[in-house]
Amino acid sequence: MKILANDGISESGINALEAAGHEVMMVHVAQEQLQKYINQHEIDVLLVRSATQVREDIIDNCPSLKIIGRGGVGMDNIDVEYAKENDIHVINTPAASSASVAELVFAHLFGSVRYLHDSNRNMPLEGDSHFKDLKKNYSAGSELRGKTLGIIGFGKIGEEVAKIALGCGMKVIVSTRRTVKREITLNFFDGQTITLPIETVPMEQLLEESDFITLHVPANAGRLIGKQEISKMKKGVGIVNTSRGGVVSEDALLEGLEDGKVSFAALDVYEKEPTPSIRILMNHRISLTPHIGAATIEAQDRIGTELAAQIIDIAKTI
């Protein structure tokens, strides 16, 4: 089969596909030219990440397409059900990048409770002239150990976040659409394991009891955190969103930061991408990254091999 990896794929994925006799094309085709390119080259498989949109127009007008693959978890850039109705296989890699996103959550948490995001802005500017003042400003940090982390959404990424939190000595509470008993198994380097129960609580309880809140929900979850939800949180709460832009109201978040209800926020996703609000970008209480949750070498390698394995399996049945 001819495979167009329009947003790229790891070398390990390419090697696996080519070893199975498939042709991989590593061309990035602009959105407006994509339909024409697929038809000209009779592409069987279209692989995308978040940049490329696969909507009804492409599905309707590209009869050669047999598989659409999303490198990552969310598939809001693909009309999944419509593709399936047209007998196109739709695949993704829900587990491949979970650990990478979870580690980014904690990079933000560790940095924010010690003001590293703000210190790294100001030390180059004033470190030589106002060292003592900066030291005083950043000497009221806190520890994560012993604090309560509230996780909204408990899929693969939420589970990985919980594992790191438990390893840090935090209490973990979870709110999901379904209140069920959950357990987490921690795997250690020497082969030992330990299984711990996870407390699932109603959303309102999570808002009231959490010292830090992190969101891990699909794009269709809608807005979950607004002014009303923030009003129910502990004073000084920290909020992390590496999920989807829009699930947290940026206006409400800024208001919470300004009045002290929220001590810090950490964002990897934004309501307006790729042009986030200047008010968000310039706020010194917000730790910022440019939607890089899944962007690690290890995650991209796993994404490539998982996509390849699924394509190879499906190809046997077509």
| Active-site annotation holder among 56, 204, 273, 298 | 273
| Active-site annotation holder among 89, 117, 216, 244 | 244
28: Cα within 13 Å, side-chain hemisphere: 6
Q: Is 291 a catalytic residue?
A: yes
CB 154 within 8 A of CB 176: yes
Q: Is 178 a catalytic residue?
A: no
Q: Which residue's structure tokens are 């699930």?
A: 247
Look up residue 237 and give its two tokens.
């709460």
- Beta pairing, strands 262-267 & 2-5: unpaired
Helix axes 156-167, 98-113, angle to 10 degrees: 50
Q: Which residues of 26-47 are buried (b: 16+ CB within 10 A; e: fewer)?
A: eeebeeeebbebbeeeebbbbb
DSSP code of residue 235? T
Q: Is 244 a catalytic residue?
A: yes
CB 48 within 8 A of CB 6: yes
DSSP code of residue 26? -
Q: How far is the first Cα of the chain from the last one, in angstroms, to the nearest whole number? A: 10
| Active-site annotation holder among 41, 114, 130, 291 | 291
Cross-sheet strand order for the sheet of 45-48: 23-25, 2-5, 45-48, 67-70, 89-92
Sign of CA dihedral 176, 178, 179, 185: negative
* Residue positions annotated with a catalytic role: 244, 273, 291
